[in-house]
């Protein structure tokens, strides 16, 4: 059995080292605090789950939470799938511009002499 890469033998060694380093008089108090911390975190997670169920209603049970697990996403597979996909057709910008009512640069008035002026109040 392995929990986050810690096997039972490693956990036993950590417990023995904690008993030796912390001492038998402080170990029960620290174990009690650790237990209350774990219970508090479990209650916090349960409360968040209950609140999500309350706010989302019946749709909460319909969500496939395994699909939302970030560990399932392999960047190499995502890139390979993206490279295999057909590229989206490029839009024809000339026909889109011809049908639009936006003024183009060629439709603006030209100034033949002197520098172009700008409106001080517009800036």
Find where tokens 């033949």 sit.
112
SS3 assignment, position 6: strand
Per-residue pLDDT at 88 exceeds 60: yes
φ, ψ (nearest 5 deg) of residue 2: -135, 125
Per the CB < 8 A criterion, the answer to whether 31 and 39 are in contact is no
**Beta-carbon count within 10 A of 41 CB:** 10
- Measured between alpha carbons, how far is 95 from 79 in angstroms, rounded to an integer? 33
Per the CB < 8 A criterion, the answer to whether 1 and 8 are in contact is yes
Q: What is the pTM of this model?
A: 0.40
pLDDT, tens digit, 9 for 90 and up, residues 89-100: 666 666 666 656
φ, ψ (nearest 5 deg) of residue 58: -70, -15
Which tokens is 101 given?
A: 């009512």
Find where tokens 């989302």 sit.
56
Which of 114, 97, 115 minimizes the C-alpha distance to 106? Answer: 97
Per-residue pLDDT at 78 exceeds 80: yes
Mean pLDDT along residues 80-84: 84
């Amino acid at each position: 059995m392995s929990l986050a890469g810690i096997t039972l033998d490693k956990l036993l060694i950590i417990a023995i080292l904690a008993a030796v380093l912390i001492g038998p008089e402080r170990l029960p108090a620290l174990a009690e605090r650790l237990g209350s911390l774990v219970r508090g975190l479990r209650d916090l997670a349960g409360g968040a789950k209950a609140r999500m169920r309350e706010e989302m209603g019946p749709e909460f049970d319909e969500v496939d939470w395994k699909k939302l697990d970030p560990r399932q996403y392999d960047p190499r597979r995502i890139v390979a799938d993206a490279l295999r996909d057909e590229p989206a057709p490029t839009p024809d910008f000339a026909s889109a511009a011809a049908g639009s009512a936006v003024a183009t640069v060629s439709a603006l008035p030209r100034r033949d002499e002197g520098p172009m002026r700008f409106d001080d109040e517009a800036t």
